[in-house]
Amino acid sequence: MKVWKGNILSAAGPDRLEIFEGGYLVFDAEGVIQFVGPELPSRYAALPLEDWGDRLILQSFADMHLHAPQYPMVGIGMDLPLLDWLERYTFPNEARFAEPDFARQTCRQLAAELVRCGTTRVCMFSSRHTDATLILMEELERAGVTGYVGKVNMDRQGGPCLQEGTEESKRETLRWLEECRRFRRVRPILTPRFTPSCTDELMGFLGKLAVERGLYVQSHLSENRAEMALVGRLCPDCAQYWETYCKHGLWRSHTVMAHCVHSDKRERDAMRKYGVLAVHCPDSNLNICSGIAPVKQMLREGVWVALGSDIAGGAMPSMLDVMTSAIRSSKARNIAEGDEVLTVREAYYLATSAGHRYFGDKPGFAVGNPLHAVVLDDRRLPIPARPLTMEERLERAIYRCDDRDIVAVSAAGRRVK
């Protein structure tokens, strides 16, 4: 067991910060939190203590939507809307995951950047390539990133480079699941790319697999108007996009739906009712002009929302950037439509506790949670004109710090930086 001492700030609720200035965190050999509080109980007094001084101990970040094979194109080609962007930039880029060496190099770089930025949990898309997906999972495990990774299924509209046959997609999915047994910290998640990419037959197969094996599912939902119109044409039997997943048994508790930019009240109600996680990807949604998701409204309605970088629709792998992006997007929405803005507390909650909940955690640094934490040193920032409160230091860190300032990272109690 071990003790960390420092200024501990965790998101105990969507609008509730729990702060222990000069507080203590105790975690056991399995990395599970045993205690958090302002004073160290005497029973822990003999444990080895790491004193982080005046630094901030924050929850590490959960990036609940990103595409590993798009990492090489991060920051380019954002002059097109979704469907054209996929065809012109994304699909040719993803096709290179057919080459194991290229996949290895990309995954290693990405995993290292995630750890540097304090992202210790992910829900990630690979490409359709089974071998590259296994390489991705290996590299994440090696670097210390935990979470879910999906081999993408796409037997429709994938173009010459990327599309699979339906039978091939089924067969490769089963092979991949078999191979996944060797991983401990990274687990498989079923990943139909999105409705336009999958035939009914493939969707039905995946829905059955999800139920039979108790697997989670991730996909995309209502990101862009043209995409929604396309789904409407492809699935005339469904009144709304979400029903194209639901009719195949893929709309379940813990199904992850990225974007939900244009989800209306009925679609949002279906999310809440089924326990679907909506992943807000504010940077991506602006970059490719998809729109601005009504996050604040989702929070008010009790929809489960977390954040995603959506690399490479998003250009910023650091969840510090994604949080400010979420706040700024909510302000753009405020300017255009008068909706309430997202607070710093809420953004911190969305990037941490809301995502960690996917893995069974209670909010904040709760006893029983595995320790997912970063230590942040904010001394590189300008000297303030008056002493700052801990909450102000959190705000400033979110707006101004980067991976340089993250001096330690714990992923489930394992020190990975």
Interface residues with a copy of itself (CB under 8 A) are 71-79, 92-93, 96, 102, 105-106, 109-110, 283, 286-287, 289, 291-292, 315, 324, 328-329, 331-332, 334-337, 341, 343-344, 381-386, 388, 392, 395-400, 402, 404
Q: Which one, 44 or 399, has the nearer CB to a copy of itself?
A: 399
Find, among 126, 139, 249, 254, the residue nearest to 193 by Cα.
Answer: 126
| Shortest separation between residue 158's beta carbon and a copy of itself, angstroms | 17
| Shortest separation between residue 395's beta carbon and a copy of itself, angstroms | 5
Q: Which one, 49 or 388, has the nearer CB to a copy of itself?
A: 388
| Shortest separation between residue 355's beta carbon and a copy of itself, angstroms | 23
Q: Which one, 79 or 264, has the nearer CB to a copy of itself?
A: 79
Name the one residue in this structure whose structure tokens are 């390489």. 135
Following DSSP, what letter does each residue of 282-324 receive, concatenated? HHHHHHTT-----HHHHHHHT-EEEE---BTTB----HHHHHH
Ranges of H-type helices in 123-253: 130-143, 159-162, 166-179, 200-213, 225-234, 241-246
Name the one residue in this structure whose structure tokens are 């991949």. 176
- Give ∠ CA 2-306-85 in degrees, rounded to 5: 125
| Shortest separation between residue 245's beta carbon and a copy of itself, angstroms | 25
Determine contact, residues 4/23, Cβ cutoff 8 Å.
no
Q: In what order do the strands lie in the sheet with 304-307?
A: 218-221, 256-259, 277-280, 304-307
As to burial, measured by CB atoms within 10 angstroms (0-12 exposed, 13-18 middle, 19+ buried), residue 264 is exposed
Q: Which one, 96 or 414, has the nearer CB to a copy of itself?
A: 96
| Shortest separation between residue 165's beta carbon and a copy of itself, angstroms | 24
Name the one residue in this structure whose structure tokens are 């809307």. 81
Q: Which one, 6 or 282, has the nearer CB to a copy of itself?
A: 282
| Token pair listed for 84 | 């054209």
| Shortest separation between residue 252's beta carbon and a copy of itself, angstroms | 31
As to burial, measured by CB atoms within 10 angstroms (0-12 exposed, 13-18 middle, 19+ buried), residue 47 is middle
* Whole-number Å distance between alpha carbons of 151 and 202: 14
DSSP 237: T
Q: Which one, 203 or 398, has the nearer CB to a copy of itself?
A: 398
Q: Which one, 40 or 390, has the nearer CB to a copy of itself?
A: 390
| Shortest separation between residue 131's beta carbon and a copy of itself, angstroms | 17
Q: Which one, 1 or 228, has the nearer CB to a copy of itself?
A: 228
Q: Which amino acid is at 143?
A: A
Q: Which one, 50 or 402, has the nearer CB to a copy of itself?
A: 402
| Shortest separation between residue 301's beta carbon and a copy of itself, angstroms | 22
| Shortest separation between residue 6's beta carbon and a copy of itself, angstroms | 20
Q: How far is CA 4 from the centre of its chain?
A: 26
